[in-house]
Amino acid sequence: MTAITPDNITVPRKLPEGGKTNLVGLTREQMRETLIAAGTPERQARMRVGQLWQWIYQKGVTDFSVMTNLAKDYRALLAEKFTISRPEIVTRQVSSDGTRKYLLRIQGGHEVETVYIPEDDRGTLCISSQVGCTLTCSFCHTGTQKLVRNLTPAEIVGQILVARDDLGEWPKPGRHPKDETRLLSNIVLMGMGEPLYNFDNVRDAMKIAMDAEGISLSRRRITLSTSGVVPEIPRAGAEIGCMLAISFHATTDEVRDRLVPINKRWNIEALLNALRAYPKLSNSERITFEYVMLKGINDSDEDARRLVRLIEGIPAKINLIPFNEWPGAPYERSSNNRIRAFADIIYKAGYASPIRTPRGEDIMAACGQLKSATERARKSRAQIEAEIRR
Ligand code: SAH
Ligand code: SF4
């Protein structure tokens, strides 16, 4: 595993625009302090934060001049010192199945991808937490890209704002933002990066996503996916409280070491112990186990039975993901029959075992295919294979 620790990577808070501070992504307390430092009277600051949050996150406003419940002079002051900025859209691709993939440019010229997946009963935005990933899961395209840096809270929340702009989802007069028909109703942290290696920024961004004056999504509509950063799992429960998905992918340490190398640091047993202690676990708040189906590697009946034994007692759903191929990938997708047989064993043991339909394959938007076009530092197939054998 790479030795880079992303925790101390410098995170820029200011955007280049004339040195103005971006108000997007600041916690309530940070924004309060920022407004006071800019001359807002202390006794008004808390109320101003609430008003600004509603303009920014519920109405999608980017221009201070339209904030009619603020005095004209105050709007001018805000405009002089601050911006309300989002990442810039470089490309926007729409798949034949309606999936939308955005390539976004962030400060420093880096690029990240965000994917919107419409379904009958929901619209899910798959967001990225890092540029690239320090982990090197051998079946994942993002894992072949070097980590450039952690995303800031503004860049994480900004992905939601960009998608809402594009979906035209800002309330029309008389329409309440909590409308069940919301186009963007769910968030999954399943894009590029390992969210638990960018914990603080992901937490601050998700707090804005869950806040009633922010994006206002229920914590049960937000799912954080981790490859298994065991020490951060209790913090995710305590400080974010969202739903959890685990990239499990194997039923023995030997195979998991090869597929998800972080397993060498925290093995299956350590991971399962952390999951058993995750707060609020119940049949209505289950943990999702993601399991990528790789031909001849992890897809036998014996694997399915072992999986059932391992997770015994954990309220869980097993999401089977047919492997999405990418150029140079050292694996193949299991056959449909094999996936169905595997799903059947799990289902008969009492667990939901949905097979994830790959979405947006024609635009390389499916799970594990994300990798920004500017990052050409892809490892060779030989390098990946050497890592697997290690
Ligand atoms: N880093 C986090 C979140 C991003 S990956 C994590 O690993 O959990 C989102 C999901 O897609 C993970 O379960 C990941 O294992 C899976 N995935 C990665 N590459 C894939 C591929 N080529 N085909 C199918 N699923 C893949
Ligand atoms: Fe990183 Fe997740 Fe891909 Fe593993 S599967 S390399 S943790 S993005």
pLDDT for 359-381, tens place per residue?
A: 887 777 766 666 654 443 344 44
Q: What is the pLDDT of residue 147?
A: 67
Percentage of the chain lying above the pLDDT 90 cut:
75
Q: How far is the CA of 334 from the centre of ligand 1 (A)?
A: 16
Q: How confident is the model at residue 275 (pLDDT cuts 50, 70, 90)?
A: very high
Cβ contacts of residue 32 below 8 Å, gap of 6+?
A: 45, 46, 49
324 lines ligand 1 (CB under 6 A): yes
Give the global pTM: 0.90
Q: What is the pLDDT of residue 179?
A: 58
From the alpha carbon of 225, which atom of ligand 2 is closest? 2
Q: How confident is the model at residue 164 (pLDDT cuts 50, 70, 90)?
A: very high
Q: How far is the CA of 367 from the centre of ligand 1 (A)?
A: 6
Question: How many C-beta neighbours within 10 Å does residue 100 have?
Answer: 20
From the alpha carbon of 133, which atom of ligand 2 is closest? 1
Question: How many C-beta neighbours within 10 Å does residue 168 have?
Answer: 9
**Average pLDDT for residues 288-294, to the nearest whole number?**
97
Weakest-pLDDT range from 1-10, 320-329, 347-356: 1-10
196 lines ligand 2 (CB under 6 A): no
Q: Are 384 and 330 in contact (CB under 8 A)?
A: yes
Q: How far is the CA of 85 from the centre of ligand 2 (A)?
A: 28
Q: Whose CA is nearest to atom 17 of ligand 1?
A: 368
Q: What is the pLDDT of residue 280?
A: 81
Q: How confident is the model at residue 175 (pLDDT cuts 50, 70, 90)?
A: low
Mean pLDDT across the chain, nearest whole number? 88
Helices marked H in the chain: 28-37, 42-53, 72-81, 153-167, 199-210, 233-235, 253-259, 268-276, 301-310, 336-348, 381-389
Q: How far is the CA of 124 from the centre of ligand 1 (A)?
A: 16
367 lines ligand 1 (CB under 6 A): yes
pLDDT, tens digit, 9 for 90 and up, residues 105-144: 999 889 999 999 999 999 999 999 999 898 989 999 877 7
Q: What is the pLDDT of residue 11?
A: 42
Q: How far is the CA of 194 from the centre of ligand 2 (A)?
A: 6
247 lines ligand 1 (CB under 6 A): yes
Q: Pick the residue with more confidence: 192 or 283?
A: 192
Helix (H) or strand (E) run with residue 124 in it = strand 123-126
**Average pLDDT for residues 324-346, to the nearest whole number?**
94
Q: What is the greatest pairwise CA distance in the chain?
A: 70
Crossing angle for the helix pair 28-37 and 42-53, to the nearest 10 degrees? 130
Q: Whose CA is nearest to atom 8 of ligand 1?
A: 226
Structural domains present in the chain: 18-83 (1.10.150.530), 88-389 (3.20.20.70)
Find the ligand nearest to 246 CA.
1
Rounded Cα–Cα distance for residues 302 and 325 (Å): 25
From the alpha carbon of 141, which atom of ligand 2 is closest? 3
**Average pLDDT for residues 226-237, to the nearest whole number?**
97
133 lines ligand 2 (CB under 6 A): yes
Q: Are 317 and 286 in contact (CB under 8 A)?
A: yes
**Residues marked as catalytic:** 113, 367
User: Is the pLDDT at 9 greater than 90, yes or no?
Assistant: no
Ligand 1 pocket test: pick from 321, 323, 369 the residue with the most ligand atoms within 8 Å of its Cβ.
321
Q: Are 292 and 332 in contact (CB under 8 A)?
A: no
Q: What Rg, from alpha-carbon coordinates, does the chain have?
A: 21
